[in-house]
Amino acid sequence: MEEFLRSCRRTLQENLDRAGPDVHVVLGNEACDVDSMVSAMAFAYFLFKTAGSDSLVLPLMNIRQSDLVLRSDIVFLLRRAALPQHLLLFRDQLDLRALWRAGRLRLSLVDHNVLPSSDADLEGAVVEVLDHHQAERKSSPTCPVTVEMVGSCATLVTERIIKEAPQILDQQIALLLYATVVLDCVNMAAAAGKVTPKDSCYVAELEARFPSLPPRGALFQELQKAKLDVSGLNMEQMLLKDMKAVSGSFNIAIPVIYLTLEELLQTAELEEQLSAFCHKSGFDLLLMMTISFTEREEPIRELAVFSHSSTCREQVSSYLQRAQSPTLGLSPAPCPHPLISAFHQGNVLASRKKLLPLVQDFLRECDGAGCLGDAEEEPAVPPTPTNSLVDGCPLDGGLPRITIEELRSKFDNL
């Protein structure tokens, strides 16, 4: 893998500024978690070894290079696998649109199956999809789509490699894939609600092929400790660490916060910090999912809904409380902040992966029925965001889509 990544950088530099071969980019999702990173690297390596074309195949991390520090679990795993960070290629280091305009771009998507609206102009470049989220794209002769609701996209990459090119597996690649599936599936614990029979099958297959892989329990504890480590991060960084965004009539961010709900709500000047974040990033509502774990590695998930618009906050909260597929089992939790509605989540198996489609359905219903109307709002906590919906929800004509990359750029420019 290390030599492959080195060759990607070298060959790309040699061909970028002149007419050359097509560039086949394997791209993970905007959150760029361990699964997206490893799936992009391993699937790109698989294509490089098996495609037999003149294309330059390379994995692209869908964040800026400066944001890698927020992915403490990725940093840990790269170090564990003896892969230097500087070999990775990041979104701000490669101009996909320039390649597309030159007719040289091909895209394979891993760990997501549709491009965000900000990348909609690249849709014609997509040639393959490998994902484990709810299907939003149909397969076609020019773009085969593999979507299977397993615990980790890395499971599907492992399956593809073992079935079609098992000879390319080595200890390093096996460790990357193995660690990712174990982390995503919460140490393969059925109680966490993530693992499927296929995940278990390919973890066992990797263990059989590479007996010197570290014990899964110890490896999981190391990765989990690194992932949950938010020491030294401010509130902005904690929100950006693992966040996805959806938009319709208004913009919603869904960050996973690696604190207990109580710890989050006790954060000093919490409302002021969340208000400033929304103001800078263009979000109208934050749907924060806190996560912690019991001693038996069972997840504890809780929700905190922040918005300056009581209408938005109440509509979203009510919709999620009524949701049936899945049922979240929400019950109100004590909260000292007037702009935040907090909930205990009875269905601890409903991760953000299962919450996200509910939010998308809610926005579709709002777009079609105009379910959110004007309402008298509470006084805003200074600074009042210009798009915080203090006069109603949503704003006339809706708000433009803002990507996670765009909002990070805003933070850097302040």
- The CATH code of the domain that includes 89 is 3.90.1640.10
For residue 410, tell me if it sits in a domain. Answer: no
| Amino acid 331: pLDDT | 96
Q: In angstroms, what is the C-alpha Rg of the chain?
A: 21
**Contact, 97 vs 67, CB < 8 A?**
no
d(CA 202, CA 157): 10
Task: Give 245-291 as a DSSP string.
Answer: EEESSSEEEEEEESS-HHHHHTSTTHHHHHHHHHHHHT-SEEEEEEE
Does residue 398 lie in a domain region?
no
Identify the helix (H) or strand (E) that includes residue 332: strand 330-332
Residue 411 lies in a domain: no
pLDDT of 51 reads: 81
Tell me: do 122 and 89 sit in the same domain.
Answer: yes
- C-beta of residue 299 within 8 angstroms of C-beta of residue 348: yes
Residue 355 structural domain? 232-369
Q: What is the pLDDT of residue 379?
A: 39
**Same domain, yes or no, for 128 and 54?**
yes
State phi, psi for 330 to the nearest 5 degrees. Answer: -80, 140
Please report whether residue 120 resides in a domain.
yes
Question: Of 193, 226, 259, which closes a domain?
Answer: 226
What residues contact 383, with CB distance under 8 A and at least 6 apart?
A: 275, 276, 279
Residues 106 and 126 in one domain: yes
User: Where on the phi/psi map is residue 111: left (φ > 0), alpha (ψ -120 to 50), or beta?
Assistant: left
| Same domain assignment for residues 330 and 250 | yes
> Same domain for 165 and 250?
no
Task: Kindly report whether the global pTM for this prediction surpasses the value 0.95.
Answer: no
The predicted pLDDT at position 366 comes to 84
208, 226, 244 — which closes off a domain?
Answer: 226
What pLDDT does residue 231 have?
Answer: 86
Identify whether residues 212 and 320 lie together within a single domain: no
For 100-148, the pLDDT digits (tens) are 999 999 999 999 999 988 899 999 999 999 999 988 888 899 999 999 9
CB 157 within 8 A of CB 46: yes
CATH code: domain of residue 323? 3.10.310.20
Domain boundary among 226, 251, 269: 226
Does 104 reside within a domain? yes
Residues in the chain: 414
Please check whether residues 300 and 348 belong to one and the same domain. yes
Same structural domain for residues 268 and 157? no
The Cα–Cα gap between 156 and 148 comes to 8
Report the candidate in 360, 353, 355 with the shortest Cα–Cα distance to residue 184.
353
Pair 202, 243 in one domain: no
252 lies in the same domain as 345: yes
Got the DSSP string for 101-120? HTT-EEEEEES-SS--GGGG
Q: Verify that 136 and 222 share a domain, yes or no.
A: yes
Half-sphere exposure of 287 (CA within 13 A, CB side): 26
Q: Does residue 106 fall inside a structural domain?
A: yes
Count of structural domains, the chain: 2
Same domain, 361 and 215: no
Positions of the chain with pLDDT lower than 50, given as ranges: 373-402, 410-411, 413-414
10 Å CB burial of residue 169 (0-12, 13-18, 19+) is buried
In a domain, 21, yes or no: yes
Q: 288 in a domain, yes or no?
A: yes
pLDDT at 196: 97
pLDDT tens digits for range 167-213: 999 999 999 999 999 999 999 999 888 999 999 999 999 999 999 99
